[in-house]
């Protein structure tokens, strides 16, 4: 696989989307020193959610992992916009919120969709600490939301 994040995206058959527009009164990222704090990213594709619902009811763990992967792709777009390129940051921490039905306990497996994409695209700079949190609902009926703390690094 190629060495740059953009080349790795191409190898995966993916393109970096535009940074999704905020759905309320916030900005897509905030910078403090060398750290970039992203807003939560939904699995939007061309501005729309491909699926809605909760894991364990309307969606399977595999569905959730694929949606987390889409949300992580949007997260990469935010990181590239905030830092100048995919090569200009590393992922420090990821939090994945999973809209879960009562008794659903596979949030960590859903979150793997995001974590795996970050590693595939960024290599060692995509390795991160992570929390996977089950919640009763997310904005717009989204099944997952992914946020991160990034660190700016020399490209």
Cα-Cα-Cα-Cα torsion 66, 77, 25, 23, nearest 10 degrees, comes to -40
Q: How confident is the model at residue 45 (pLDDT cuts 50, 70, 90)?
A: very high
- What is the average pLDDT across 7-18? 93
Supply angle C-alpha 47, 75, 6, rounded to 5.
Answer: 100
Q: What is the mean pLDDT of the chain?
A: 95
**What percentage of the chain has pLDDT greater than the value 70?**
98
| Distance between CA atoms of residues 100 and 93, nearest Å | 22
DSSP string, 52-75: -S-BTTTB-HHHHHHHHHHHHHHH
Query: What percent of the chain has pLDDT above 90?
Result: 92
> In the chain, what are the domains?
5-20+31-152 (3.30.1330.40)
Give CA–CA dist 100/110, Å, rounded.
Answer: 11
46-105 pLDDT, tens digit each? 999 999 999 999 999 999 999 999 999 999 999 999 999 999 999 999 999 999 999 999
- Comparing 1-10, 60-69, 144-153, which segment has the lowest mean pLDDT? 1-10
CB atoms closer than 10 angstroms to residue 46? 8
């Amino acid at each position: 696989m190629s060495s740059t994040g953009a080349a790795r995206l191409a190898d995966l058959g993916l393109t970096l989307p535009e940074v999704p527009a905020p759905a309320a009164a916030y900005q897509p990222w905030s910078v403090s020193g060398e750290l970039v704090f992203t807003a939560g990213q939904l699995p939007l594709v061309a501005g729309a959610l491909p699926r809605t619902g909760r894991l364990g009811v309307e969606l399977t763990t595999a569905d959730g992992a694929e949606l987390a992967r889409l949300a992580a792709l949007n997260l990469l777009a935010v990181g590239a916009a905030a830092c100048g390129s995919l090569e200009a940051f590393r992922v420090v921490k990821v939090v994945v919120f999973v809209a879960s039905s009562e008794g659903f306990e596979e949030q960590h497996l859903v979150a793997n969709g995001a974590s795996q994409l970050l590693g595939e695209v960024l290599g060692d700079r995509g390795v991160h600490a992570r929390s996977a949190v089950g919640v009763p609902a997310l904005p717009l009926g989204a099944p997952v939301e992914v946020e991160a703390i990034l660190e700016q690094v020399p490209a």
